[in-house]
Structure 1
Amino acid sequence: MSELSIVPVTLAEANAYVAANHRHHGPVAGAKFSVAVAVEGAIHGVAIIGRPVARGNDDGWTLEVNRCCTDGTRNACSMLYGAAWRAAKAMGYRRLITYTLPDEGGASLRGAGWGLVGRRGGGNWNTPARPRIDTAAVLQGQKLLWEMA
């Protein structure tokens, strides 16, 4: 196999990849930018980076990797997380965050130099003040917050 490389990708292309390949999330509504990892033009993963979902993190200096999705190609996730941070930093952002499920090991994040902040959240998005359709039970528990700063 030839070498992996980071390539540009539109949000529409990244969302199509996520729709076809992500285990538990669908496409996103919007983003600041997207990147892909490819071998000889064939995409093996994408990362979609946007504003933080949690309002408390949306300080104007922080972005969030809202989706990272690969086909399992070795080192693809680490390359995407690294590229996302380099791009965000080049754009003037000071912090990049993402969340994983507790049963996801985080090897790709650690391999890209990210640090584990700790457990966050829990429950679901549905509240009396902001009615939402419940997500899958696996997504309602606490998540692990990771960051680059």
Structure 2
Amino acid sequence: MATDGTRNACSLLYGAVWTAARALGYRRLVTYTQDGESGANLRATGWRVVASRPTRPGWSRPSRPRIDHGTARIGRLRWEPTAPTI
């Protein structure tokens, strides 16, 4: 997520994307944060941590080579929005 720094912009966008995805029929949405990031903007809009992903040597695989951009060997948390109450 990238914003111009407007206060609460990330929370607003995460909430809006989940609302739009549900309206389009999606039942699941995921995003990741890196270890060390608080995830406050996700918690503020009702997302929860559902998995912890261990560090990896990088994103490159023989079937899909990738250039390392400095995100290798960083653990991640997978987040999903809480299901809407029906």
**TM-score of the aligned structures, taking structure 1 as reference length:** 0.49
CA RMSD of aligned residues (A): 1.5
Equivalenced residues, count: 80
Cα deviation 1:113-148 (Å, max 9, x = unaligned): 101113115321123343322221xx1122111001
Distance 2:64 2:9 in 1: 37
Pick one of 26, 30, 38 that aligns with 1:93: 26
Distance 2:28 2:60 in 1: 28
Match of 1:143 in 2: 76
Is 1:134 matched up with 2:77? no
Gaps of 5+ in 1: 1-67
1:1-149 equivalences in 2 (<5 Å): 68-123=1-56, 124-136=58-70, 139-140=71-72, 141-148=74-81, 149=83
Bigger share in strand: 1
Question: In structure 2, the residue corresponding to 1:95 is in which secondary structure?
Answer: coil
**TM-score of the aligned structures, taking structure 2 as reference length:** 0.81
Amino acid at match of 1:85: W
